[in-house]
A = this chain, B = another copy of it.
Amino acid sequence: MTFIEKLRNRWQQADSLLCVGLDPDLAKLPDRFVDDEEALFTFCRDIADATAQYACAFKPQIAYFAAHNNGEAALQRLIAHINGAHPDVPVILDAKRGDIGSTAEQYATEAFERFGADAVTLNPYMGRDSAAPFLARNDRGCVFLCHTSNPGARDFQELLVDGEPPEPLFQRIARTIANDWNADGNCALVVGATFPEELKVIRDIVGEMPLLIPGVGAQGGDVEAVVRNGKTADGTGLMINSSRGILYASRGEGYAEAAADAARELRDTINRYR
């Protein structure tokens, strides 16, 4: 089964558009993990197990592992655990890779073979040939940055570019990916929840393409506006990510239950607007 098929099945099966972000910041973990060398793995495993029933996808952020010695081993164990215990929930490795073709081949090996992810986030700035080694793995998903959730998204992504029609850069990127790079139907885009009007425009450009939506919760995105502007005709099409709001719902012994409650609540809030 391809990433996109797995995702579509999961949207239906779990009745959820919630993506659970796994960004383990050691400074914010529950108190029991102080001085625990296995903290990265154990904490994320506990969160994954507690929230899987409410999730359409998991999204580990590789930077939170790569900042630490042996962090990659923890990430490998985590994804192997998810693939074994929750095989219906696709894993998107958030890595925002992008490089020339020969290097991109290595990054594709990193994401898909070494870490066993179903999909990976990618930066489109270097163009078509930098994406080709990922696109060629058409059983996996390629999730390209389009309009990101941070304030700096305005710096370059919104610049008006020449052409027919003239349009902001992020729209040109969405159009190029939808019309060209997505020939095998294995693409998705990142669109920040903090820019709901831009989300609406992107949905119009890309048809049914899945959209990964960071920025609800800590970053302030509005769930109702995201669902209204981003959903497809059948009420799916979205992976609405929450990381901090779920991971750090409690620092106490009940952190996993608190995470499950936060995930269920956000899933239900999303579903209310579908």
- Residue of B whose beta carbon sits closest to that of A121: B99
Contact assessment for A153 and B172 in the assembled complex, using a CB-CB cutoff below 8 Å? no
Query: For the complex, is A150 an interface residue (Cβ under 8 Å from B)?
Result: yes
Q: Which residues of B are found within 8 Å of A102, using beta-carbon distances? A: 23, 25
Contact assessment for B66 and A100 in the assembled complex, using a CB-CB cutoff below 8 Å? no
Least distance between A79 CB and chain B CB atoms (Å)? 13
Chain A 149-166 interface 0/1 with B at a Cβ cutoff of 8 Å (1 = within): 111111111011111001
Classify chain A's interface size.
35 or more
Instruction: Report the Cα distance A150→B160, complex, angstroms.
Output: 24
Contact assessment for B169 and A159 in the assembled complex, using a CB-CB cutoff below 8 Å? yes
Q: Which residues of B are found within 8 Å of A125, using beta-carbon distances? A: 123-125, 145, 148, 156-157
Contact assessment for B100 and A149 in the assembled complex, using a CB-CB cutoff below 8 Å? yes
Chain A 122-155 interface 0/1 with B at a Cβ cutoff of 8 Å (1 = within): 0111111111000000000000010011111111
Q: Given A114-B69, A152-B129, decide whether A63 and B161 contact each other with a Cβ distance below 8 A.
A: no
Question: What's the number of copies of this chain in the assembled complex?
Answer: 2
Contact assessment for B67 and A106 in the assembled complex, using a CB-CB cutoff below 8 Å? yes
Query: For the complex, is A109 an interface residue (Cβ under 8 Å from B)?
Result: yes
- Residue of B whose beta carbon sits closest to that of A123: B123
Contact assessment for B67 and A114 in the assembled complex, using a CB-CB cutoff below 8 Å? yes
Least distance between A233 CB and chain B CB atoms (Å)? 30
Q: Which residues of B are found within 8 Å of A162, using beta-carbon distances? A: 159-162, 166
- Residue of B whose beta carbon sits closest to that of A218: B102
Instruction: Report the Cα distance A159→B170, complex, angstroms.
Output: 12
Nearest 10 pairs of A and B residues by beta carbon: A127-B152, A127-B155, A63-B106, A160-B162, A67-B109, A159-B161, A129-B152, A67-B106, A100-B150, A66-B110
